[in-house]
Copies of this chain bind each other. A is one copy, B any other.
């Protein structure tokens, strides 16, 4: 910071860039609206390496404190996308629906709703990420399946959408270079929890993918990225507004993450649970959420479809086996081992189990999803640092959900593991359960739906 070189053109452009950042920090802190051109320049300069990390993090922290107006968030989203690749789904000749979840514990929804919607004849292109911290990622879960390729090029994505009406793949870092550059910095500077920064990050990647409709699943509750309910509502509204400004038909569901979703937490365990759901098993909470999301995705593609008609199509897709068959077709098309898919018992299975039992009789009052997510982490189901290897077989299988009655000695949860810190995992899992002396209400699965359906009628 102290030593400065004599100025040549490069250092002069760096000085100009630095002066510009300092100006935007001061103006944002003073409550001024940042013009789109200033936000564009800031991200351009950062991506080009003209702004050092310590200045960008001060800008991000200032935005996280002060917030942004929707016009500023729109400008940031546009700046994130600038210079990136596009998957260009606009040209595939049919309406394509994308889906995104803000992430939670046991959230294997994408593995179920994508084939259901595709089986109903609506094309779905799902770009997914990896998990970090207590929440898992769809790509990590799918890597439990031997042979499945999850790094498809844009041309392959378009071909699968055309031929099969379904694709799930990892998202290319090149979709939104500005988001890629800032995301890693946000993660290490405590600036993740910010509505405009989250909204711009998510929507920029969706804009780059270029689907026609987008369904957002915004989690709320103790296991969500954003735990504060009002902030989650604000995030859902902001993202719907933002996506609409970029021409995407968008709706958002505010769904419950006050306990883990479904019974299984952990990669192969969740794939097995998703396959069971596709075969028609009813999983409390999880099945209901999958059906609501599937219905809304169908309606994004077919705005004239009534709720009842859409629900009926979803039911038939599952009961007829069409959704399950669509999943198998899709997985084979992306290279999956057919034998493993035909028999989910061949998916990675942990050699050891520990059982967590109730120490008294009563009712399950709450199950802390963060404690469960962290317990799964401790036995290797996720990663604490980017790029670390994970054990796809490891995780937690809940045996009880909130509202269930238990007798002393009943099994509350199983820990599936091989290596890792089983003592911590046991303590975390046991501590996640609160047993009460009376029955409690089960929280609703879907709290709210955002995005005017009427806007879609055209």
Contact = CB atoms under 8 A, between A and B. Distances in A.
Interface of A: 1-4, 18, 21-23, 25-26, 29, 52-62, 64-66, 184-185, 187-191, 193, 385-387
**Best-buried of A21, A53, A61, A185 by chain B (most CB within 10 Å):** A61
Contacts of A187: 1
Contact of A185 (B3, B26, B54, B60): B54
A65 B62 CA distance: 6
A38 to B, nearest CB: 13
Nearest to A186: B58
B2 A193 contact: no
Q: How many copies does the complex hold?
A: 2
A122 B385 CA distance: 61
A222 to B, nearest CB: 16
Nearest to A5: B385
Contacts of A4: 385-387
The prevalent SS among residues of A at the interface is: helix
Contacts of A23: 190
Contact of A2 (B18, B57, B184): B184
Nearest to A181: B1
A62 B57 CA distance: 10
Given A1-B184, A57-B55, A184-B1, A64 B29 contact: yes
Given A2-B387, A62-B65, 4 more contacts: A4-B386, A26-B190, A57-B58, A58-B60
B190 A25 contact: yes
A66 to B, nearest CB: 6
A26 B189 CA distance: 9
Given A53-B54, A193-B26, A188 B18 contact: yes
A1 B54 contact: no
Contacts of A29: 64-65, 190, 193
Given A21-B190, A53-B53, A65 B61 contact: yes
Given A57-B61, A61-B62, A65-B61, A1 B190 contact: no
Contacts of A189: 22, 25, 54-55, 58
Q: Which 10 A-B pairs have the closest CB atoms?
A: A25-B190, A65-B65, A61-B61, A58-B189, A58-B61, A22-B190, A53-B54, A1-B184, A54-B57, A57-B58
A53 B61 CA distance: 13
Contacts of A62: 61, 64-65, 190
A23 B3 CA distance: 32
A2 B188 contact: no
A61 B184 contact: no
A387 B1 CA distance: 11
A401 to B, nearest CB: 30
Contact of A188 (B1, B3, B386): B1
Contacts of A57: 54-55, 57-58, 61
Contacts of A55: 57, 188-190
